[in-house]
Amino acid sequence: MPTSHPPSPIPPFLYSLKRIGRITSTLLSVYYAYMVEYRAELVLWVLAGSLPFILMGIWSKAAAMGQFGLSPVEFARYFLATFLVRQFTIVWVIWEFEKEIVEGRLSFRLLQPLSPVWHYLASHQAERLARLPFALLLIGFFFLLYPQAFWLPSLSEIVLFLIFSALAFGLRFLMQYTLSMFAFWTERASALEQFWFLFYLFLSGLIAPLSVFPPAVRAIALWTPFPYLINFPASLLVGLPVNMTQGILVILGWGILFYLICRWLWQKGLRQYSGMGA
């Protein structure tokens, strides 16, 4: 008579993946429901991110009157791509983290068997999903007003754009989350982000493509993290030339550096936070 064997247990790797998937889906569904409650504000957030369209009009007019290396249509496409990148990469974690520190709500996060960073990441991704319909509506309105700028990127350009937009969000989030660690020592950590934003504004490609910058400035800027937050993925989508190898190395280099600094500040900050009686 054959002996029966008990069913083999789930491999630890598959169990971990299943657990991660369950936690991720739960967090996303919770934060998506939270974001949808404020859909009126989402419209305002999308409109607040329409600065590239304003700059597009300025640079398109300037390109029609002078030589800037790009035609008015190319400027229009670039700033549309910039708007898309901004929808994927906008980050506000420092204000959320600072508020939780000041109000003492971080203590409840620390009691959970899950790092607080996953809550912030889930809220950011849920907000992306909630604002996507409004962003697509605004893009359709853009092509309706400016049909000559319509184009269809190739499949490779779309794939590279999505990959590097995800990397840009990861780097942008990591940079801001690192700055938010200073909330353990000051109630105005967001002031650091406002100062940091000046470099982001001028060097990321938000106000102008890096191709119109003086060569010396562009050469220095390309070794900073800022151009890879907007200019690099936007250029990939519209077909402007980029240095792929340099882009990957710079993104990985700055990402590792900010991760190490963030972990060090987190450990130091937790001791400071507990020392305050939390």
Say how far apart CA 266 and CA 64 lie, in whole Å: 51
Nearest to 157 by CA among 56, 87, 81: 81
Are the C-beta atoms of 169 and 91 separated by less than 8 Å? Answer: yes
Nearest to 181 by CA among 120, 270, 63, 242: 270
Are the C-beta atoms of 36 and 180 separated by less than 8 Å? Answer: no
Residue 107 has a pLDDT of 87
Q: What is the pLDDT of residues 163-222, one digit of tens each?
A: 999 999 999 999 999 999 999 998 888 999 989 999 998 899 988 888 888 889 999 999
Residue 16 has a pLDDT of 63
Asked whether residue 2 is assigned to any structural domain, the reply reads no
In total, how many domains does the chain have? 1
Residue 74 has a pLDDT of 86
Confidence class of residue 35 from pLDDT cuts 50, 70 and 90?
low
Say how far apart CA 153 and CA 156 lie, in whole Å: 8
Q: What is the pTM of this model?
A: 0.85
Q: How many residues does the chain have?
A: 278
Asked whether residue 10 is assigned to any structural domain, the reply reads no
Mean pLDDT of all residues in 143-156: 88
Q: Judge whether residue 72 has pLDDT over 60.
A: yes
Asked whether residue 261 is assigned to any structural domain, the reply reads yes
Asked whether residue 204 is assigned to any structural domain, the reply reads yes
What is the DSSP secondary structure assignment for residue 228, as one 8-state letter? G
Mean pLDDT of all residues in 127-156: 86
pLDDT over 90 percentage in the chain: 40
Least confident range of 22-31, 39-48, 55-64, 110-119: 39-48
Asked whether residue 200 is assigned to any structural domain, the reply reads yes
Asked whether residue 6 is assigned to any structural domain, the reply reads no
Say how far apart CA 267 and CA 33 lie, in whole Å: 32
Q: Tokens 């119109």 label which residue?
A: 212
Residue 4 has a pLDDT of 52
Q: What is the pLDDT of residues 234-253, one digit of tens each?
A: 999 998 889 999 999 999 99
| 12: CB partners within 8 A, 6+ apart | none
Residue 39 has a pLDDT of 60
pLDDT over 70 percentage in the chain: 83
Asked whether residue 175 is assigned to any structural domain, the reply reads yes
Nearest to 42 by CA among 131, 132, 141: 131
Q: Judge whether residue 113 has pLDDT over 50.
A: yes
Query: Range of 207's domain?
Result: 18-275
Asked whether residue 214 is assigned to any structural domain, the reply reads yes
